[in-house]
Amino acid sequence: MERMQQIVGRARAAFKSGRSRPLEFRIQQLKALERMVQEKEKEILAALKADLNKSGPSAYSQEILGVLRELVTAMEKLPAWAAPQHVKKDLLSIRDEAYINYEPLGVVLVIGAWNYPFVLVMMPLIGAIAAGNAVVVKPSEVSENTAQLVAELLPQYLDKDLYAVVTGGVPETTELLTLRFDHILYTGSSSVGRIVMAAAAKHLTPVTLELGGKSPCYIDKDCDLAVACRRITWGKYMNCGQTCIAPDYILCDPSIQGKVVENIKATLKEFYGEDVKSSPDYERIINKRHFKRILGLLEGQKIAFGGETDEASRFIAPTILTDVSPESKVMEEEIFGPVLPIVTVKSVDEAIEFINLREKPLALYVFSNNKHLIRRVISETSSGGMTANDVIMHSVVPNLPFGGVGHSGMGAYLGKFSFETFSHRRACLIKDLRLEVVNKVRYPPGSMEMMHL
Amino acid sequence: MERMQQIVGRARAAFKSGRSRPLEFRIQQLKALERMVQEKEKEILAALKADLNKCGHNAYSHEILGVLGELALTMEKLPAWAAPQPVKKNLLTMRDEAYINYEPLGVVLVIGAWNYPFVLVMQPLIGAIAAGNAVVVKPSEVSENTAQLVAELLPQYLDKDLYPVVTGGVPETTDLLTQRFDHILYTGNTAVGKIVMAAAAKHLTPVTLELGGKSPCYIDKDCDLAVACRRITWGKYMNCGQTCIAPDYILCDPSIQGKVVENIKATLKEFYGEDVKSSPDYERIINKRHFTRVKSLLEGQKIAHGGETDEASCFIAPTILTDVSPESKVMEEEIFGPVLPIVTVKSVDEAIEFINLREKPLALYVFSNNKQLIKRVISETSSGGVTGNDVIMHFFLSTLPFGGVGHSGMGAYHGKHSFETFSHRRACLIKDLKMESTNKMRYPPGSQKKVDW
């Protein structure tokens, strides 16, 4: 406990020193992070392979490329982001300076998740540094190799006191959450999200919660099924289904269910070959606990494809379930695994109703040639974000915010949104002491005649 | 409890009906609110007089004018605010539609405060309606006349199911907070703010907390003291000091303390005449509890002016304390009364240090002819908002966000910021099913060659 207090205390003292305020310092730290990612690429990829069996190319494109892009963006845009934002004035303030000043909050806590263990600490860290804060990073202990690596690497490249890494499991995180921060960004499950927010409430610490849910994927009869299914297959089975914005389940008309299965099967063969288990591109379930959890979801289900498992290597084959009942276990919680249930619905109305009966998901997908139908689904549902005619991709568009709504989260980040999330927008109005006569109207003694002019 | 559940349930069902989504409906409701404020002006002013002894002039300018302005602005701008916001695209998204969609959250809870009991429910209500939500309004029971009036008036003008009013005290509010909302905006004190956030955490409900603190007011030696003191006097003693952004205490050099007192005394005479108690422009403390609280802050203090009280009418005269010790009771909590302590400091460095030893306030004020000094104070401190060379005024420019930081709050509202606070910013990416060949790079089987292009 004392250790935690000391770490956070040092971060706060370092922040109070003021050295993280000048833009030059922040850019210098971001540059060091960039060097770290470039110089230690091998080590990072090795850790991701050890934790999730991520192949080099997958790990690089999923976790490193995005981080390098975010760093370049932050370094390039920081002067523009950090500049005071002058606002439109009114008659009363015509002679004044009126602007929004972006200021650091203080000490930010970033709690990472295990499924994309590198990028999910790095992206928030980049934004928090850019905004001028001190940052305490708590990587997920479940992805232990990456957590260990982050703990070793950050102090080698960054200011040791301003940017501290804390490792450990539930007891350590619980302790950490009793301490006072100026913002907490947590990525993980809804149930722990509640715990984080409750802890934050004790200190009136604002939070950004990147949670999860069951992201629905509606496939309209009017669409190019081969293309749709290839894109869905890619997003569903990447990282062995352990992606917060993976299409969780499919909704489609019973008449196309068979074709959907055929197309996905064909794509899986394209992607992973005849023997998925020996494909270097196919990941593994993070640990035994999740392996068992997902295995349990297959009970009593009609397996149209896949279903093979191997506990020793935590392997679960890409699996498709058909004619799934809405009341079954696999339709209760977020699957977070390579199991794709298909629930049949007779119309887009039924699909919309189905989606709206459930908690707001982090992502929503709809495939159709009909733009009107797509817009209708968007306007009659809610979700953190959405992509039409593809999956995942809204999360990589540079100027779109990434975040949830309802049980899938609150707040957003990435790019400029990270900078704003980790900043205080301070309203500033600078007047001068002249023209006092203009203020006469507001001073007592008052009269109603004056008011109604 | 059941009554609360029913009211909130009806609001949710009304929201689900979809009728609050079309802009025409929202504008029609806002127009009705505008009619309400215009037609019932007398009744509103009477309630404010009964609750706080606010005279017509003050009540109109502080509570009605602002609301009418907000309504006019919102009705005019709503189509622009609610329009999907396209984002800058990149090479990957050239052919796509990428935009941020502003969507209602669902059922919003607005908890008002007693010091500006009308405007503090109306302004959030306006923003929540504009954003397309259902809204449950809980006015403060402490300002009971206004609470009663709001409960009677809203159903006469607005959709009864979408915008209900709930009245009651702590037990009723506690009940209400166990219900599920999609956003809660609370105005009040820091202690209750923690309770609201903890209750919200159970449902993962995002919150906007408009809290308080001790807003410091630094007077530099280099400034027009007469003007500075007149402006400070206006902001401090309006509503009998019961203003969340009132200058709480003054920091100045000992050499000007005497002049500051003289100037404030002179201004008080201008404003309220020789006999403050009989001035129709001087308000009263809201109730006995706060009267006793504020009165006790005078114990052991050097009263340079004022100090007279009358419990029967909850009257406390405009009071100035000099040479106040930083450790005294009056310097511990937010005063929220017509008592103005002056703490002497020998330099702006000392003032900045003094301010930074304390919790971040909701507002900060600095008076100086020297713009550099003002900018320095801004950059070396933190607060919700700032006005230089005046007080209060940053509140009235609706293009500036109004909110706190740290213990003075989280989130912000007013004008467009209200609309955004009560909306979900949904990231939307609409692709088509063509050009599938461009996606080849991302699909397995992967190879480093693919990534290194």
| Structural domain harbouring B274 | 216-396
Answer yes or no: is B306 within a domain: yes
Angle at B383 between CA B379 and CA B388, to 5 degrees: 65
Nearest-CB residue to B397 (from A93, A204, A234): A93
Statement: residue A401 has pLDDT above 50: yes
A51 and A128 together in one domain: yes
User: Do both B180 and B224 map to the same domain?
Assistant: no
Name the residue among A204, A393, A395 with its Cβ closest to that of B410: A204
Question: What secondary structure letter does DSSP report for B313?
Answer: G
pLDDT score, position A2: 72
The nearest alpha carbon in chain B to A199 belongs to B198
Q: Which residues pair with B292 in a beta bridge?
A: none
For A58, the closest of B223, B273, B446 (CB atoms) is B446
Q: Residue A105 corresponds to which tokens in the numbers above?
A: 């909050």
The verdict on residue B449 lying in a domain is no
Looking at CA atoms only, how far is residue A371 from chain B in angstroms? 9
Enumerate the residues of chain B whose CB falls inside 8 A of the CB of residue A449: none
Has residue A353 been placed in a domain?
yes
- Same-domain pairing of A29 and A52: yes
Tell whether B198 and B346 lie within a shared domain: no
Tell me, yes or no, whether A257 and A359 share the same domain. yes
Average pLDDT over residues A298-322: 97
Query: What's residue B453's pLDDT?
Result: 45
The answer, yes or no, to whether the previous bond of B22 is cis (omega within 30 of 0) is no
Is the same domain home to A154 and A80? yes
Is B287 in the same domain as B352? yes
Domain count, chain A: 2
Interval A166-177 mean pLDDT: 96
Considering the domain boundaries, does residue B452 fall inside one? no
pLDDT at A215 over 70: yes
Q: Dmax of chain A from CA atoms? A: 88
Q: For A14-54, write each residue's pLDDT tens digit.
A: 999 999 999 999 999 999 999 999 999 999 999 999 999 99
User: Is-contact B438 A405, C-beta < 8 A?
Assistant: no
Of the candidates B89, B402, B429, the beta carbon closest to that of A393 is on B429
| Minimum Cα–Cα distance from B104: chain A residue | A382
On chain B, the residues whose CB falls within 8 A of the CB of A409 are: 204
Render each residue's pLDDT in chain B as its tens digit; 453 residues: 678 999 999 999 999 999 999 999 999 999 999 999 999 999 999 999 999 989 888 899 889 999 999 999 999 999 999 999 999 888 878 889 999 999 999 999 999 999 999 999 999 999 999 999 999 999 999 999 999 999 999 999 999 999 999 999 999 999 999 999 999 999 999 999 999 999 999 999 999 999 999 999 999 999 999 999 999 999 999 999 999 999 999 999 999 999 999 999 999 999 999 999 999 999 999 999 999 999 999 999 999 999 999 999 999 999 999 999 999 999 999 999 999 999 999 999 999 999 999 999 999 999 999 999 999 999 999 999 999 999 999 999 999 999 999 999 999 999 999 999 999 999 999 999 998 988 988 999 976 555 554
DSSP of A303-323, one letter per residue?
EEE---EETTTTEE--EEEES
Residue A41 located in a structural domain: yes
pLDDT of A452 > 70? The answer is: no
Q: Could you tell me the CATH number of the domain that includes residue B280?
A: 3.40.309.10
* pLDDT at B450 (0 to 100): 56
Say if B67 falls within a structural domain: yes
Do residues B37 and B143 both lie within one domain? yes
The mean pLDDT value of chain A amounts to 96
Instruction: Assign residue B199 the CATH number of its domain.
Output: 3.40.605.10
B210 a catalytic residue: yes
A438 inside domain: no
Interchain CB distance below 8 Å, B87 and A382: no
Task: Indicate if A352 and A263 belong to the same structural domain.
Answer: yes
Q: How is residue B446 annotated by DSSP?
A: P
Does one domain contain both B9 and B131?
yes
Average confidence (pLDDT) over A85-92: 94
Residue-wise pLDDT for A113-147, tens only, equals 999 999 999 999 999 999 999 999 999 999 999 99
- Per annotation, catalytic residue among B240, B244, B252, B314: B244
Query: Following CA atoms A112, A116, A120, A126 in sequence, which dihedral angle do they give, to the nearest 10 degrees?
Result: 140
Residue of chain A nearest B404, judged by CA positions: A426
Q: Are residues B275 and B379 in the same domain?
A: yes
User: Would you call B308 a catalytic residue per the annotation?
Assistant: no
Interval A244-296: pLDDT, tens: 999 999 999 999 999 999 999 999 999 999 999 999 999 999 999 999 999 99
User: Contact at 8 Å (CB) between A401 and B427?
Assistant: yes
Classify residue A443: in a domain, yes or no.
no
CB-based contact A446 B389, cutoff 8 Å: no
Same domain, yes or no: A195 and A240: no
Give contacts of B37 with chain A, Cβ < 8 Å.
none
Which chain A positions have a beta carbon within 8 Å of B18's beta carbon? 380
Find the closest chain A residue to B387 by CA distance: A429
The answer to whether the CB of A202 falls within 8 A of the CB of B194 is yes
